[in-house]
Structure formats: structure tokens, C-alpha cells
């Protein structure tokens, strides 16, 4: 393999239509702190389990290898949690071991998620030289008040430093994650965040509307009336503003919440949106292949105990029915600029949304307009009829 160094594997020639091979997701559940809005399978204070956990990931890959012989994984995504709470050498060795055990493609896109406060240039250079081709940083906002409302521990300055460090370390494929609609955030504040993100010059941007999950600390505060829920009308305005600013800056809006410079779409996420095959390793990770979907035990200790006992850590599974597959196809493909074949949809179901300007026809496909993307789930549910 030859993915190390500046010139290899960053995906610059890849378009949304050119992904190949299954995806590999590796879940790292450790975080510096637990943000109040977060509903992911992530935990603060479990760093003492890191060595056991990495060993379990290797063992789980070995157990899964027989079912994925010859697969040649085209993408790898280390998410969490915060994978960069691990030492850089541990991350690199894990990726190398996964390559030996499962087989990564020569031009595999290898993404690692990062918290700005957990990386510096030396750390990131070790990742880059070790074969990581893409970095995804959770910036969320450049407004200190918004970061405080989200209970993020990093500052705008640390996000700027981390971004500059990534470029200095040789990363030529960097994503910034943003969140809009937090308590106290105004349209002007959101404009400032998007404009500052664009000024840095990332290759990819993700922007997500803050959603309230009942089981989170923020969800409980909203339920108790201590914190207001996000204003959906304001979030719609923020979304429209992001679409406008990012289009003007040359970013292609290729999925509801994702924008990229041409050819720098996230290939790993495209695997999901196309209902491709993917293997998930780690606590709570999900997998999909040949109409079967399965997921691992969610609590890290339960996951560790299963793997250490030599048992596959599967917590549940399901077979996707033809009807379920059809619904998923509509929901996932409609989120992207590929859309869905018009011939697959009852014209009577599509016509109202075409008339309202939420859908358009393009090359025999029904594609959401920018306005329609904010209502993607509603439109998909109607079209799945």
C-alpha cells in the first residue's frame, strides 16, 4: 500500500459517482467531556480502557475477516467519541493492523475525527505520514457564546490553531463540522461562523441543525423549561444562509448537510447514502451487507467482555424487507444530489412538491432543490407512498 505522504489517497479525482468497495467504520467511544446535546455512544472518564479497547478492535477485525475476504475496503472512518484522545502512534498502528487483517484499497480514503483541543502539528503529522488521508474536525461554531451553549470545551482560537496545524502537517483534505440553532445563536452569529469557516478554506464542510434528544442533559433541560428548544424557523433561515454563502464560495451542496469542493465529497458517507456494504467495529457500531443489518453491543464494557471471551459482540440484527429497502433507498438517495429515478415514483405523489419548488427533474431523476433539502425527510416520506 502507499497511502502515506501528501500526494496519495486524498480523493481529489473522486466524484459522488466514483466510490467503490465497502466501507469500514471504527468506533472510538472516548471523549474529553460529554457535551450536553450529544446522543452518540461516547463517554468521558473511560480513557483507562483504551488499551483493552484497541486490542478488542483488533480481535473483532480478526473474527470478522473471514466473512469479508477479498472485500478491499475503499474507505475507513474512525469516529466517536474522539479518536484523537488516543496517541497518534496507536491510531496509525490500528489502521495498519486493520489493513493486514481486512485489506484496505490502495487508494482508500482514511478519515479520522478530531477535537481541536486534542491535536497539534506533531500529532497530525504522525497521522498523515501514517496513512490518514482525511481529517474531520468538530468546530461547531466560531462564536464563544454558542460554544458555551453547546458545552464545547474548545475555543474558536483552538479551532483555528488546529486547522492551521492540519495544513502544516500535510493534510489536503480537511472537513469542518458546524452546528446551528443553539441557544442564543442569531442569524448574524451564524453568518460569522460560516464566513470564518469559508475563510479558512476547508475542502469540505458539514452543517447540522441542532436537534434535541430527550435522553441528553440538554433534552432534559428543554423538557423542564430551563432552556428553549431551537426555533425551527430560525434554523431554516440559517440553513438558507449556509446554502447561499457556501455556493458563493464554490462549495458543491451534494447532500442535505454536506458541502464539498468539486471531487472532495466524503466517500465513506456516500457508501451509507447508497446503501452499500459496510463493516462497523467497536461498541455500538453498525454493519450492513446483502440485506442484513447488525449492530454491536453498545456499552463499552459489554463490548469488551464479549470480544475478550471470543464471542462476536453482536447486540442485534435484522433482515431488511423489500419494502424497507425501498423506503431506505428513497430516504437516503433523495438526500443527495443524485436523487431518485423519476420512473420509480408515482407522478401524482411528486407533482405537489415539483409545483412547490421543493423538487426538480434532472436527467430523469427527481432531485431536491435547496429549499427542499431542509424538508428532505418530509418529502421522502411522501414519495415513498
Say yes or no to pLDDT of 142 above 90.
yes
Separation CA 380–CA 385 (nearest Å): 9
Separation CA 264–CA 11 (nearest Å): 6
pLDDT on residue 2? 35
Say yes or no to pLDDT of 13 above 50.
no
Mean pLDDT highest for which of 39-43, 138-142, 214-218?
Answer: 138-142
Q: Kindly report the number of other CB atoms within 10 A of residue 125's CB atom.
A: 17
pLDDT on residue 33? 86
Reduced 3-state DSSP string for 50-103 = HHHHHHHHHHHHHHHHHHHCCCCEEEEEEEECCHHHCCHHHHHHHHHHHHHHHC
**Element (DSSP H or E) covering residue 175:** strand 174-180
SS3 of residue 376 by DSSP: helix
Separation CA 8–CA 78 (nearest Å): 19
* Domain identity same for 235 and 380: no
Say yes or no to pLDDT of 266 above 80.
yes
Separation CA 121–CA 130 (nearest Å): 14
* Domain identity same for 364 and 235: no
Percentage of the chain beyond pLDDT 90 is 83
Does residue 283 lie within any of the structural domains?
no
Grid cell, residue 253, equals: 451542496
**pLDDT mean over 166-174:** 98
- Burial category of 286 from C-beta neighbours within 10 Å (exposed 0-12, middle 13-18, buried 19 and up): middle
Does residue 297 lie within any of the structural domains?
no
* Domain identity same for 95 and 156: yes
* Domain identity same for 349 and 261: no
Among candidate residues 214, 240, 273, the one where a domain is terminated: 273
* Domain identity same for 187 and 331: no
Among candidate residues 273, 292, 307, the one where a domain is terminated: 273
* Domain identity same for 53 and 185: yes
Overall pTM > 0.85: yes
pLDDT on residue 113? 98
| pLDDT bracket for residue 16 (50, 70, 90) | low
pLDDT tens digits along 272-292: 999 999 999 999 999 999 999
* Domain identity same for 269 and 340: no
Does residue 59 lie within any of the structural domains?
yes
pLDDT on residue 40? 86
Mean pLDDT for all residues in the chain = 92
* Domain identity same for 77 and 224: yes
CATH number at residue 73: 3.20.20.70
Say yes or no to pLDDT of 14 above 50.
no
pLDDT on residue 18? 60
Beta-bridged to residue 104, according to DSSP, are 73
- Burial category of 48 from C-beta neighbours within 10 Å (exposed 0-12, middle 13-18, buried 19 and up): exposed
Beta-bridged to residue 258, according to DSSP, are 206, 255
Tell whether omega for the bond before 81 is within 30 degrees of 0, i.e. cis.
Answer: yes
* CA distances from residue 316 to 61, 207, 274, 287, 295 in whole angstroms, order as listed: 18, 31, 22, 11, 6
Separation CA 89–CA 127 (nearest Å): 8
Say yes or no to pLDDT of 3 above 90.
no
Q: 154 is in which domain, residue-wise?
A: 23-273
Does residue 14 lie within any of the structural domains?
no
* Domain identity same for 200 and 344: no
Q: Phi, psi at residue 260, to the nearest 5°?
A: -145, 150
Strand order in the sheet with 359-362: 340-341, 365-368, 359-362
Say yes or no to pLDDT of 230 above 80.
yes
Does residue 290 lie within any of the structural domains?
no
pLDDT tens digits along 125-136: 999 999 999 999
**pLDDT mean over 249-268:** 96
* Domain identity same for 96 and 237: yes
**pLDDT mean over 198-225:** 94
Q: Phi, psi at residue 311, to the nearest 5°?
A: -105, 140
**pLDDT mean over 154-175:** 97
Does residue 78 lie within any of the structural domains?
yes
Does residue 189 lie within any of the structural domains?
yes
pLDDT tens digits along 35-87: 888 888 889 899 999 999 999 999 999 999 999 998 999 999 999 999 999 99
* Domain identity same for 263 and 342: no
Does residue 222 lie within any of the structural domains?
yes
SS3 of residue 316 by DSSP: strand
Instruction: Evaluate the CA torsion angle 256, 285, 137, 106 in order and state its sign.
Output: negative
* Domain identity same for 267 and 356: no
Q: How many domains does the chain have?
A: 2
Separation CA 265–CA 175 (nearest Å): 10
pLDDT on residue 5? 36
Amino acid at each position: 500500500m502507499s497511502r502515506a505522504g501528501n500526494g496519495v489517497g486524498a480523493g481529489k479525482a473522486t466524484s459522488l459517482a466514483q466510490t467503490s468497495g465497502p466501507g469500514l467504520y471504527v468506533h472510538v467511544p472516548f471523549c474529553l467531556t460529554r457535551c450536553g446535546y450529544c446522543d452518540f455512544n461516547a463517554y468521558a472518564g473511560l480513557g483507562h480502557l483504551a488499551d483493552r479497547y484497541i486490542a478488542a478492535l483488533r480481535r473483532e477485525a480478526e473474527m470478522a475477516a473471514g466473512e469479508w475476504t477479498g472485500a478491499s475496503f475503499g474507505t475507513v472512518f474512525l469516529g466517536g467519541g474522539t479518536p484523537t484522545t488516543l496517541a497518534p502512534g496507536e491510531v496509525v498502528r490500528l489502521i495498519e493492523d486493520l489493513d493486514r487483517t481486512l485489506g484496505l484499497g490502495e487508494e482508500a480514503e482514511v478519515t479520522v475525527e478530531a477535537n481541536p483541543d486534542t491535536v497539534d502539528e506533531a500529532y497530525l503529522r504522525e497521522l498523515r505520514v501514517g496513512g490518514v488521508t482525511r481529517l474531520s474536525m468538530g468546530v461547531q461554531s466560531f462564536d464563544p457564546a454558542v460554544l458555551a451553549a453547546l458545552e464545547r470545551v474548545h475555543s474558536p482560537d483552538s479551532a483555528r490553531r488546529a486547522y492551521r496545524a492540519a495544513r502544516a502537517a500535510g493534510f489536503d483534505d480537511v472537513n469542518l463540522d458546524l452546528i446551528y440553532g443553539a441557544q442564543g445563536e442569531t442569524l448574524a452569529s451564524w453568518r460569522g461562523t460560516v464566513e470564518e469557516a469559508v475563510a479558512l478554506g476547508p475542502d469540505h464542510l458539514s452543517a447540522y441543525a441542532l436537534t434535541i434528544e430527550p435522553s441528553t442533559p440538554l433534552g432534559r433541560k428543554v423538557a423542564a423549561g430551563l432552556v428553549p428548544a431551537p426555533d425551527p424557523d430560525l434554523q431554516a433561515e440559517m440553513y438558507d444562509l449556509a446554502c447561499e454563502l457556501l455556493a458563493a464560495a464554490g462549495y458543491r451542496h451534494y447532500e442535505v448537510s454536506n458541502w464539498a469542493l468539486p471531487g472532495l465529497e466524503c466517500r465513506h458517507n456516500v457508501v451509507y447514502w447508497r446503501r452499500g456494504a459496510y463493516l462497523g467495529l467497536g461498541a455500538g457500531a453498525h454493519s450492513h451487507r446483502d440485506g442484513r443489518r447488525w449492530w454491536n453491543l453498545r456499552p463499552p464494557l459489554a463490548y469488551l467482555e464479549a470480544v475478550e471471551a471470543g464471542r462476536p459482540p453482536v447486540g442485534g440484527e435484522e433482515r431488511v424487507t423489500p419494502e424497507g429497502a425501498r423506503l431506505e433507498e428513497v430516504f437516503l438517495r433523495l438526500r443527495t444530489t443524485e436523487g431518485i429515478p423519476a420512473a420509480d415514483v408515482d407522478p401524482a405523489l411528486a407533482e405537489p412538491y415539483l409545483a412547490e419548488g421543493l423538487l426538480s427533474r434532472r436527467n430523469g431523476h427527481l432531485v431536491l432543490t435547496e429549499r427542499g433539502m431542509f424538508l428532505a425527510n418530509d418529502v421522502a416520506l411522501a414519495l415513498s407512498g
